[in-house]
A and B are shown apart, each in its own frame.
Chain A
Amino acid sequence: MKFTLDWLKAHLDTDASLEEICDKLTAIGLEIEGVEDRAATYAPFKVAYVESAEKHPDADKLKVCQVKTADHGTLQIVCGAPNAKAGMKVIFAPNGSYIPGLDITLKKAEIRGVESNGMMVSEKEMLLSDEHKGIIEVDEKHEIGTPMAEIYGLVDPVIEINLTPNRADCAGVYGIARDLAAAGMGTLKPVHYHPLGGTYKSSIGVKIEDEGCVHFVGREIKNIKNGPSPDWMQALLKAVGLRPINALVDITNFINLDHARPLHVYDADKINGDIVAKSAQGGEDLDALNDKSYTLLEGSLVITDSNGVIGLAGIVGGTSTSSELETTNIFLECAYFEPSRIARTGRDLGVNSDARYRFERGVDPEFTRPAMDLFTHLVFEICGTPDTKVSEVVEAGAPIEWRREINYDPSYFENLIGFEVEAHTQKTILHSLGFTIADSGKGWVINPPSWRGDVEGKADITEEIARIIGLDALPAVSVRADDATTKGAETLILSRVRAARAALTSRGLDECVSWSFTGENQARAFGCNDNALTALSLKNPISNEMNVMRPSALPLLIEAATRNSARGFAGAALCEIGPVFKGVKPEDQVSVASGIRAGAAFGRHWADKDATRSVDLYDAKADALAALEAAGAPAANAQVRTGAAEYFHPGRSGVIALGKTIIAQFGELHPAVLEELNVKFPVVGFEVFLENIPAAKKKSVAKPMLTLEPLQPLTKDFAFIVDESREAIDVLRAAMAADKKLISGGNIFDIYQGKGVDEGKKSVAIALTLQPRGESLTDKDIEALIKSVSDIVEKKCGGVLRG
């Protein structure tokens, strides 16, 4: 919402400075978006006189002018404007000034070898219009040195406020003045509008056939003379960014901005029959005054005459009945439309207007007649002829019932806001805002004014008082002392997220935050089936690459690795701990710690010839296990088996499970998936399903008592020949089961195939840690152990102890 200071002062009698007014506006909830002090912006630009204009020696279209200025003497300026000539008065911009239309600051220049100081400007360069055919020529009556702002009426600062949707009343300058007056910024000037009776019956009637139009009043005015609106009105409209059209249209625009009251004026001679507000059937076409055409939807609220649709109700009129310069007879529409209907029609057809803006926020239902009288007066004043005559008002419907009572106890203010405001102060503020108050004995009964449809309950009343007093008065009371929690503040999942993050980043993965959406192909490749794809597709995506809620973060991380690689940073190691989606219900969203490693494990290194090896599934497995352990999963007890999702390599991937519950999966990405994503380097990845980790059974955080064995442990190595398909971990598990008390640890330290081992077999070398308890081990003990280990491995895995 834009207005000028003078416009405001037409309604507000005040001595306050611009700065004070702006500060107050922000303080009462009408936040200043910007103030354009045009006098300051245009201060450098003044009238100058072109003494001579000669052709540039090296350029046909340029002229070298000698220009007499007020502050800089006579200057040489090279100018390309076709209308530059000796003897004209121009607007001169000196070196060092900022040209708003070009967004440059002028410097002394040399143009084709000729010195040029400053410039003579066009209207476009001054942001006055789109006119750029030539430089501005000002009337010769203006003295050299006259500020441009004076000639163009640009001394009045333009104020823009950021109007919140609840304050429809302040979509007009008068409403803003009323708020400022209530806040002590001056006195509100009364608006004079006398009801004007008609002298004849309107030839056009009005009807309502859809409840979306609640109240419709109209009036015919005959024998007027349209023309340009007066300079003062044009200046105000231009200042707030509206293009003056003709007096009739300008008057409606002016009242719209002045009183937040949209009106529409028709050329009465172009209307056939009565005017009816009703629903569109759908399919009708309308050429609108905003130079666009619309095909209406069923249920759009429209204005019609007997020829059909002549306007979108409360939004924009049609060209077929518009008032033009030649118009002599008019019909004025002043209606109240249901805000939600205007919003819906506007949204469905994608049309915005100043009228829609106000109607959908709710205009003052009691201002229909006054607005009509204001308009009539202005038409008389600006377009009146001796023969002008005004019809009686035609009316359909009635104002909406806007009156309501709010029970309010003045002590509620302190209860809700936290500081005391005396009852009589509260009353004064409410009165000044137009509220009426009756004392019921048990508190107040408050009636909000007709223009404050947003005030519904007692909390709204406190807001009115608080904002007028100013929230600077609000004390700050700490909530630290209360309710210090003895439980952790985190949820279980959040703790896991945090721990997994720490574990993965400490293992060298960079944590990313990538989009929650991905493309359809990516979603399909990562396990999204047809049903899920339909349910999870955005109806209005930003692009086709971002149109499905992701079933996995892996495709986004892989694409990130590709982007990094393209920038010259290959071998990314990335993780993300975030949501993935299986469906649209809350429980279908799960938290997953995901990560990938791409390309070579490390760069070349002098001490490590193996550093540049490709990442492999064991890197991903280590990541997954680290995240699981950090997140509190009993990773040591988990089973590792095949069965990872189809986007992993079938032979080089696995899941980590507790019983039937899969808590993680890891492996090489499937080559077909990498091909689909156009990835040229190896990628391994993992996903840890944080919700699937069982909650710790033990409530206590105390750890069991530690007993330290005095005797040293010893290590015994074994090598078994097994089938090459046998998982090595089976051998170790079997061996460790030989004596659970004595064997305290084990490790697979070599896998060998080749010379000395039969085809189809492999050697698995394991080291068992033996912890003697109480007494040292004898040779006999050890022999017995070797036997039981080799027996059990043979029995369970068909393993033969290697000699």
Chain B
Amino acid sequence: MSDINALKTELSTEIEAATDLAALDEVRVSVLGKKGRITALMKTLGRMDPEERKTTGQALNVLKDEIAALIKRQESALKKQAMDVRLASETLDISLPPRPERKGHVHPISQTIEEMVTIFASMGFSVAEGPDIEDDWHNFTALNFPPGHPAREMQDTFFLPDDESEQGERAKKLLRTHTSSVQIRNMTEIAKTGAPPIKTICFGRTYRSDYDMTHTPMFHQMECLFIDKDVTMAHLKGCLTDFVRTFFALDDLPVRFRPSFFPFVEPGAEVDIGYVKNKDGSIKLGKAPEGQEQKWMEILGSGMVHPNVLKNCGIDPEEYQGFAFGCGIERIAMLKYGIPDLRTFFDCDVRWLAHYGFSSIDRPNAATGQ
């Protein structure tokens, strides 16, 4: 037994002395290989008497396992050492920029439109569409702007040459001055094949011949229309209030209705939202805190659809009624996102787009509410 103990001490020393994997393997072969020292001792067991064979055999087996474990441990240690050496030499400059990728941006007008569709979809509205190049009938007459009426002159209209394949007011081509013309197409279409309820929103490019600090010849509007048998002005107020509060994410945003005039509604109202003026002259939308003046800004026009407009679209105003409202998309985008200058929307300046634009993965949805 003392031989075995001596061998164990000897082998342990040898294993520890092996400083690389090849040396360690040599030790392993010289101990546990076919001609290895423990293997050789094992072979002597056959010549022993059974009693001795039993005790020596057991001791040898224990030795064999211990040595194998030692080798394995040393092997791990050596491998780790080798890995450490390798890693120590493998360094890259982490400060270098990664390979380039372009980041695109969604235009604030698109973002705002997607937000509005999301909000109105949650109220049961769906989208209606109409062309940018309109005719006098859809843009004015059907909307209760009589020919020659001064209300027509409130809107500086771009005109195109007459469409010779059409007659009268439908031949007079122009660029739509508001998205209200889509109402006419929408209601006429539905009246042809069915009947209200009509619960739609539309949006798009609109045009007026005006170009200065606060006007561009092209801009965007959105419009909302709800026609049924018992839609009242109170529904208009409810729908609008829900919309502006969701859009601006302000639960207590004050909303004020003021009587006003648009030829295609009766009664008509302009809608103001509340804000306060900060000391530095900037503004903050919302309810004025105690002691501060509640200020109001006009944000959109609205009203109950004029009976003449319903009639013009083939809908019986004695049976159906409803509301419509519309607003400038740039205006509410400017308010919400703090964009100071209307004209910059159409300049395609990449610095502006990167600053005021939105990420392609940050698309509005019902969960974000806007």
Q: Do A and B come from one complex?
A: yes
Residues of A contacting B327 in the complex (Cβ-Cβ under 8 angstroms): none
Residues of A contacting B230 in the complex (Cβ-Cβ under 8 angstroms): 415
Which residues in chain B, 127-167, are within 8 Å of chain A measured between CB atoms? 127-133, 146-151, 153-154, 158-161, 163
Smallest CB gap from A26: residue in B:
B258
Whether A489 contacts B235 by the Cβ 8 Å rule is no
Whether A477 contacts B133 by the Cβ 8 Å rule is no
Asked if B237 lies at the interface with its beta carbon under 8 angstroms from chain A, I say yes
* A491-513 interface code vs B (CB 8 A; 1 in, 0 out): 10110001001101111111111
Stretch at the interface among B6-14, B38-46, B73-81, B266-274: B266-274
Asked if A463 lies at the interface with its beta carbon under 8 angstroms from chain B, I say yes
Residues of A contacting B360 in the complex (Cβ-Cβ under 8 angstroms): 501-502, 505-506
Asked if B19 lies at the interface with its beta carbon under 8 angstroms from chain A, I say no
CA distance A504 to B123 in the complex (A): 30
Whether A505 contacts B239 by the Cβ 8 Å rule is no
Residues of B contacting A581 in the complex (Cβ-Cβ under 8 angstroms): 132-133
Asked if A605 lies at the interface with its beta carbon under 8 angstroms from chain B, I say yes
Smallest CB gap from B114: residue in A:
A498
Smallest CB gap from B123: residue in A:
A480
Residues of A contacting B346 in the complex (Cβ-Cβ under 8 angstroms): 513-515
Whether B97 contacts A459 by the Cβ 8 Å rule is no
Question: How far does the Cβ of B164 sit from chain A's closest Cβ, in whole Å?
Answer: 9
Question: How far does the Cβ of B214 sit from chain A's closest Cβ, in whole Å?
Answer: 15
Residues of A contacting B147 in the complex (Cβ-Cβ under 8 angstroms): 340
The listed residue (A462, A511, A538, A605) touching B105 by CB distance below 8 A is A511
Which residues in chain A, 25-45, are within 8 Å of chain B measured between CB atoms? 26-29, 31
Whether A514 contacts B132 by the Cβ 8 Å rule is no
The listed residue (B101, B160, B211, B237) touching A476 by CB distance below 8 A is B237
- Counting residue pairs across A and B whose Cβ atoms lie within 8 Å, the total is 285
Whether A506 contacts B133 by the Cβ 8 Å rule is no
Whether A536 contacts B238 by the Cβ 8 Å rule is no
CA distance A557 to B107 in the complex (A): 14
Asked if B126 lies at the interface with its beta carbon under 8 angstroms from chain A, I say yes
The listed residue (A167, A457, A483, A514) touching B348 by CB distance below 8 A is A514
Which residues in chain B, 85-127, are within 8 Å of chain A measured between CB atoms? 96-97, 99-107, 109-110, 114, 117, 120-127
The listed residue (A494, A515, A516) touching B127 by CB distance below 8 A is A494
Whether B149 contacts A165 by the Cβ 8 Å rule is yes
Stretch at the interface among A82-90, A564-572, A679-687: A564-572
Smallest CB gap from A487: residue in B:
B126
Smallest CB gap from B109: residue in A:
A513
CA distance A605 to B129 in the complex (A): 46
Stretch at the interface among A262-270, A279-287, A371-379, A416-424: A416-424
* B182-216 interface code vs A (CB 8 A; 1 in, 0 out): 00000000000000010100000101010100000
CA distance A605 to B199 in the complex (A): 53
Stretch at the interface among A64-72, A582-590, A764-772: A582-590
Whether A466 contacts B349 by the Cβ 8 Å rule is no
Whether B259 contacts A459 by the Cβ 8 Å rule is no
Question: How far does the Cβ of B218 sit from chain A's closest Cβ, in whole Å?
Answer: 6
The listed residue (B148, B232, B347) touching A343 by CB distance below 8 A is B148
Most chain B beta-carbon contacts within 10 A, residue among A460, A511, A538: A511
Whether B107 contacts A512 by the Cβ 8 Å rule is yes
Question: How far does the Cβ of A588 sit from chain B's closest Cβ, in whole Å?
Answer: 8
Whether B354 contacts A510 by the Cβ 8 Å rule is yes
Smallest CB gap from B269: residue in A:
A471
Whether A606 contacts B96 by the Cβ 8 Å rule is yes
Q: A573-B102, A575-B104, A606-B96 given as contacts; is B160 within 8 A of A539 (CB)? A: yes
Asked if A637 lies at the interface with its beta carbon under 8 angstroms from chain B, I say no
The listed residue (A466, A483, A539, A606) touching B259 by CB distance below 8 A is A466
Asked if B351 lies at the interface with its beta carbon under 8 angstroms from chain A, I say yes
CA distance A502 to B365 in the complex (A): 13
Whether A510 contacts B104 by the Cβ 8 Å rule is yes
Interface size on A, residues (CB 8 A): 104
Residues of A contacting B316 in the complex (Cβ-Cβ under 8 angstroms): none
Residues of A contacting B125 in the complex (Cβ-Cβ under 8 angstroms): 485, 489
* B322-352 interface code vs A (CB 8 A; 1 in, 0 out): 0000000000000000000000011111110
The listed residue (A472, A515, A536) touching B217 by CB distance below 8 A is A515
Question: How far does the Cβ of A792 sit from chain B's closest Cβ, in whole Å?
Answer: 39
Whether A541 contacts B158 by the Cβ 8 Å rule is yes
Asked if B233 lies at the interface with its beta carbon under 8 angstroms from chain A, I say yes
Residues of B contacting A479 in the complex (Cβ-Cβ under 8 angstroms): 123-124, 199, 226, 231, 235, 238-239, 242
Residues of B contacting A483 in the complex (Cβ-Cβ under 8 angstroms): 124, 197, 199
Question: How far does the Cβ of A580 sit from chain B's closest Cβ, in whole Å?
Answer: 10
Which residues in chain B, 265-292, are within 8 Å of chain A measured between CB atoms? 266-270
Asked if A786 lies at the interface with its beta carbon under 8 angstroms from chain B, I say no
Whether B158 contacts A485 by the Cβ 8 Å rule is no
Whether B150 contacts A343 by the Cβ 8 Å rule is yes
Question: How far does the Cβ of B87 sit from chain A's closest Cβ, in whole Å?
Answer: 22
CA distance A477 to B158 in the complex (A): 39
Asked if A104 lies at the interface with its beta carbon under 8 angstroms from chain B, I say no
CA distance A507 to B163 in the complex (A): 41
Residues of A contacting B348 in the complex (Cβ-Cβ under 8 angstroms): 510, 512-514, 556-557, 560, 563-564, 574
Whether A540 contacts B127 by the Cβ 8 Å rule is no
Whether B261 contacts A474 by the Cβ 8 Å rule is no
CA distance A564 to B346 in the complex (A): 13
Asked if A194 lies at the interface with its beta carbon under 8 angstroms from chain B, I say no
Smallest CB gap from B358: residue in A:
A505
Whether A607 contacts B354 by the Cβ 8 Å rule is no
Residues of A contacting B351 in the complex (Cβ-Cβ under 8 angstroms): 567, 569
Smallest CB gap from A606: residue in B:
B96
Whether B159 contacts A540 by the Cβ 8 Å rule is yes
Asked if A482 lies at the interface with its beta carbon under 8 angstroms from chain B, I say yes
Asked if A164 lies at the interface with its beta carbon under 8 angstroms from chain B, I say yes
Question: How far does the Cβ of B3 sit from chain A's closest Cβ, in whole Å?
Answer: 55
Residues of A contacting B100 in the complex (Cβ-Cβ under 8 angstroms): 602-603, 605, 608, 611
Residues of B contacting A513 in the complex (Cβ-Cβ under 8 angstroms): 107, 109-110, 345-346, 348
Whether A466 contacts B117 by the Cβ 8 Å rule is no
Whether B267 contacts A476 by the Cβ 8 Å rule is no
Asked if B234 lies at the interface with its beta carbon under 8 angstroms from chain A, I say yes
Smallest CB gap from A459: residue in B:
B266
Q: A479-B124, A563-B347, A605-B97 given as contacts; is B106 within 8 A of A516 (CB)? A: no
Residues of B contacting A478 in the complex (Cβ-Cβ under 8 angstroms): 123, 238-239, 242
Q: A472-B257, A505-B104, A608-B99 given as contacts; is B150 within 8 A of A361 (CB)? A: yes
Whether A418 contacts B234 by the Cβ 8 Å rule is yes
The listed residue (B163, B233, B347) touching A584 by CB distance below 8 A is B163
Residues of B contacting A586 in the complex (Cβ-Cβ under 8 angstroms): 130-131, 133
Whether A476 contacts B161 by the Cβ 8 Å rule is no
Question: How far does the Cβ of A214 sit from chain B's closest Cβ, in whole Å?
Answer: 15
Q: A466-B259, A508-B101, A572-B350 given as contacts; is B268 within 8 A of A489 (CB)? A: no
5 A-B pairs within 8 Å (CB atoms) are namely A471-B269, A493-B129, A541-B158, A549-B133, A584-B163
Q: Lowest 9 CB-CB distances: which A-B pairs, in order?
A: A508-B102, A418-B234, A29-B259, A418-B232, A463-B267, A164-B261, A560-B348, A489-B121, A340-B148
Given A28-B259, A166-B151, A512-B353, 13 other A-B residues pairs in contact with their CB atoms under 8 A: A29-B259, A340-B146, A460-B266, A462-B267, A475-B234, A485-B125, A513-B345, A560-B348, A563-B347, A574-B348, A584-B160, A588-B133, A606-B96
A contact set with B: CB distance below 8 Å: 26-29, 31, 164-167, 339-340, 343-344, 347, 360-361, 414-419, 457, 459-460, 462-463, 466-467, 471-472, 474-480, 482-485, 487-491, 493-494, 498, 501-502, 504-517, 534-542, 546, 549, 556-557, 560, 563-564, 567, 569, 572-575, 577-579, 581, 584-586, 588-589, 602-603, 605-608, 611
